[in-house]
A and B are shown apart, each in its own frame.
Chain A
Amino acid sequence: MRILLVEDDPTLGSAVRDYLTRESYAVDLAGHLAAARACLPGDYSVVVLDLGLPDGDGLALLPMLRKHDAPPAVLILTARDRLSDRIRGLDAGADDYLVKPFDLPELAARLRALVRRRAGRHSPRIEQGALSIDPVSREVRLAGNRVELTAQEYALVVEFAEHPRQVLSRRQLENAIYTLDDGALSNVVEVYVSRLRRKFGRNSIRTVRGFGYQWGVTDAVGAEADE
């Protein structure tokens, strides 16, 4: 899952970015409004938005976000703790509002809740056929058996699980695992898909030529599996 973090304080911004990265999110950090605008449009699932930015109010970004076909969820992360600020932020279209200082685990939990709500799920667990993911412990099980994954592998699995039966483009999968700064290799998705197939089964991910990848198909359907 890709997150745009708009935060002008470098100490806080880097800590949040690194923490969320460790949580297997792909995080782009923008230190001001102009940088955030430059990042958009991007395939972000969530925008974590500070309000008091050096070049303007973070709320100014919301109209731009609403123009997207699938606008990302917005979590406002601000030092403005007044109820009127909160109302203004939520009325402007934000999905959640968190006041600084905050606990990083709480931020991560709220992000998970946001994504869950967007996906229309009520349970924090992601269940997809035999696949079960606990976003809190980041434990992934297939048919009840635990599967050990790296952060990037986990991010890819979550991305597939969040979009059941959808064909995900390579770019979409890249966005889920790499930030703008990472300079992803051209075949990085193929590498990780290959690793996941080794761990979840040869036909766990189907390659749809010209479009991307699809999770959860059977061996019979996955005759075109890419090797």
Chain B
Amino acid sequence: MTLSGAGSLSRALTRSLLVGLTLLWLAGVLGSGIVLKRLIDQNSDAELQESAAILMSLIRYTDDLLITAAVLGETKSRPESELPHERFIYQVRDASGRVLLHSHTASPDLLGVPLREGFIDAGDWRVVTLADHANNRFLQLADPLAERRDALVTSLLWLTLPLGALLAFAAFIVFRASRSLVRQVQGTAIAVSRQDPQALGLLPLDGVVTEMRPAVEATNRLLARLAAALEAERSFTYNSAHEIRTPIAGALAQAQLLASMAEGSALKEQADALAGALSRLARLAERLLALARAEGAQPLADDWVDLANVVRLTVDEFERNPRLRGWRIVAEASPVRVRADLDAVGLAVRNLVENALIHGTGGAMVRLVCKRVGNGAMLAVIDAGPGAPGVEVSSLIKRFARGSGAVGSGAGLGLSIVDTLARRMGATLVLVSPAEGQTAGFEARLVWGAAAAPDEGRRSAKAPGEHGVREKGRPETERGRIDI
């Protein structure tokens, strides 16, 4: 059975089974009809022949059939209604074909029947011819074919009539059975559909029907391989980050040590240049590692993350940096939980703050705001710098893109990294310039379409079915704003 196109498996199965059952039944009826017809013909022929033999024995002892016919002909004067029903008709003919005697309802069809012993169909009649060679007489007895047909049709009708009831009953049974089977399949399908794409857990094998078990087991093997591949990728990214950072840190530290030791000597300038170059290399490597991590395939929406916690930790991290002593980094955080990945949110916010520190010169203040917005949540990093001209906002997420007014030392990767992370977390990066409610400044906003209820997410770190996924529309430039 081939199921083409979409539709209910149960309905298709029922339909196919019913069609098959009907065809099979009709074939059975047809076969029965053929057999029945043969039996009816045989029995009727035997009966006809037996009747003809009896009649022949009577006729054989009648000398003058013409006189008999005349006597019998008197009955014609009787009204038709008084005549008994005659199932058979007969005629007695001599060798020349002359009719010597016939039943009063003899059909003209019989006149053309040849004088040859045996059966023959003539018009609506089945005719048997018996010969009395001694008296040179031929008896032809006919039985109406319609009777045979009626018997056959009636029999076939009685064979066919139960088909409707049978089909209704079969439809009920088959539909019920198929529903039960399909429910098993649906159970597996629902288990697959409820599978958290971010969690990549294995499908449950409990309650899976035997026929579906190989498919589920194969799917689980694939999921396990996928999870292993993702874990390998995560480990590689993590370990390679460690392996790259440490030697860069060593080189940078040696260069800065050299610069400090060369204080007052001719080598100081070269040492400072070396340290500066290594610092830039370190920053670029840092961004590239972050980009590699952002573009990985690991799930990034499999946990509840308190945005306020991330904001506070990020502010604390930057506040400890002695180089930022002149800056004010302010947290305005209301507790709100979203489905995301703690490290990914942390990486995104850190990049946004670094971006604000690089480009937000002039204001010396960076605000980190997070709050619930409707059913969703937002986390914004707002600087008080000159912002970005409206036409450039949309291009800022491109890799290695830097605003024309950029004065800092950014690599042009920060917003691209954040955008990639946001997409993978089911969030949207919104860039606004000038910052909302300000005449200048730049605002980078991470927006989640769905946030946890105030007490949700505390109960379960991995509540299934909520990923905060929202549709992403086409970029729309409006007042220097673009939804990426």
Minimum CB–CB distance from B242 to chain A (whole Å) comes to 4
Measured as residues with beta carbon below 8 angstroms from the partner, the interface class of chain A is 20 to 34
Query: With A and B bound together, what is the CA distance between A141 and B443 in angstroms?
Result: 46
User: Looking across the interface, which residue of chain B has its beta carbon closest to that of A85?
Assistant: B343
Minimum CB–CB distance from A100 to chain B (whole Å) comes to 4
Residues of B within 8 A of A80 (CB): 238, 242
Residues of B within 8 A of A15 (CB): 250, 253-254, 256-257
A104: CB under 8 A from chain B? yes
Residues of A within 8 A of B238 (CB): 80, 82
Minimum CB–CB distance from B411 to chain A (whole Å) comes to 15
Contact flag A110-B320 (CB < 8 Å), given A15-B257, A19-B260: yes
Residues of B within 8 A of A84 (CB): 342-343, 346
B322: CB under 8 A from chain A? yes
A52: CB under 8 A from chain B? yes
Among B249, B342, B343, point to the contact of A102 (Cβ < 8 A).
B249
Residues of A within 8 A of B279 (CB): 101, 103
A73: CB under 8 A from chain B? no
Are the C-beta atoms of B246 and A9 separated by less than 8 Å? Answer: yes
B251: CB under 8 A from chain A? yes
Are the C-beta atoms of A16 and B253 separated by less than 8 Å? Answer: yes
Query: With A and B bound together, what is the CA distance between A109 and B325 in angstroms?
Result: 11
Among B248, B249, B286, B313, point to the contact of A83 (Cβ < 8 A).
B313
Are the C-beta atoms of A100 and B346 separated by less than 8 Å? Answer: no
Among A19, A87, A99, A106, point to the contact of B257 (Cβ < 8 A).
A19
B282: CB under 8 A from chain A? yes
Are the C-beta atoms of A103 and B313 separated by less than 8 Å? Answer: no
Are the C-beta atoms of B317 and A86 separated by less than 8 Å? Answer: yes
Query: With A and B bound together, what is the CA distance between A106 and B246 in angstroms?
Result: 17
Are the C-beta atoms of A18 and B257 separated by less than 8 Å? Answer: yes
Minimum CB–CB distance from B101 to chain A (whole Å) comes to 118
Give 1 or 0 for each of B230-267: 1 = CB within 8 Å of chain A CB. 00000000100110011111111110110011000000
Query: With A and B bound together, what is the CA distance between A18 and B345 in angstroms?
Result: 37
Interface residues of B in 323-345 (CB under 8 A from A): 323, 342-343, 345
Minimum CB–CB distance from A179 to chain B (whole Å) comes to 16
Query: With A and B bound together, what is the CA distance between A81 and B246 in angstroms?
Result: 12
Residues of A within 8 A of B314 (CB): 83
Are the C-beta atoms of B250 and A82 separated by less than 8 Å? Answer: no
Minimum CB–CB distance from B59 to chain A (whole Å) comes to 117
Are the C-beta atoms of B313 and A79 separated by less than 8 Å? Answer: no
B271: CB under 8 A from chain A? no
Are the C-beta atoms of A101 and B252 separated by less than 8 Å? Answer: yes
Minimum CB–CB distance from B258 to chain A (whole Å) comes to 9
Query: With A and B bound together, what is the CA distance between A11 and B342 in angstroms?
Result: 33
Residues of B within 8 A of A100 (CB): 245-246, 248-249
B77: CB under 8 A from chain A? no
Residues of A within 8 A of B347 (CB): 82-83
A96: CB under 8 A from chain B? yes
Query: With A and B bound together, what is the CA distance between A102 and B347 in angstroms?
Result: 17
A22: CB under 8 A from chain B? yes
Residues of B within 8 A of A52 (CB): 242
Are the C-beta atoms of A22 and B260 separated by less than 8 Å? Answer: yes
Interface residues of A in 53-95 (CB under 8 A from B): 79-84, 86-87
Among A11, A87, A99, A103, point to the contact of B250 (Cβ < 8 A).
A11
Query: With A and B bound together, what is the CA distance between A103 and B278 in angstroms?
Result: 10
Residues of B within 8 A of A12 (CB): 246, 249-250, 253
Minimum CB–CB distance from B345 to chain A (whole Å) comes to 7
17 contacts between A and B (CB under 8 A): A9-B250, A15-B257, A22-B261, A82-B347, A83-B314, A84-B342, A86-B313, A86-B346, A101-B249, A101-B279, A101-B286, A102-B253, A103-B252, A103-B256, A103-B279, A103-B323, A104-B253
Chain A interface (Cβ within 8 Å of chain B)? 9, 11-12, 15-16, 18-19, 22, 52, 79-84, 86-87, 96-97, 99-106, 109-110, 113
Question: What are the 10 closest A-B residue pairs judged by CB atoms, nearest first?
Answer: A83-B346, A11-B250, A109-B322, A15-B253, A100-B249, A12-B250, A101-B249, A79-B245, A101-B282, A79-B242
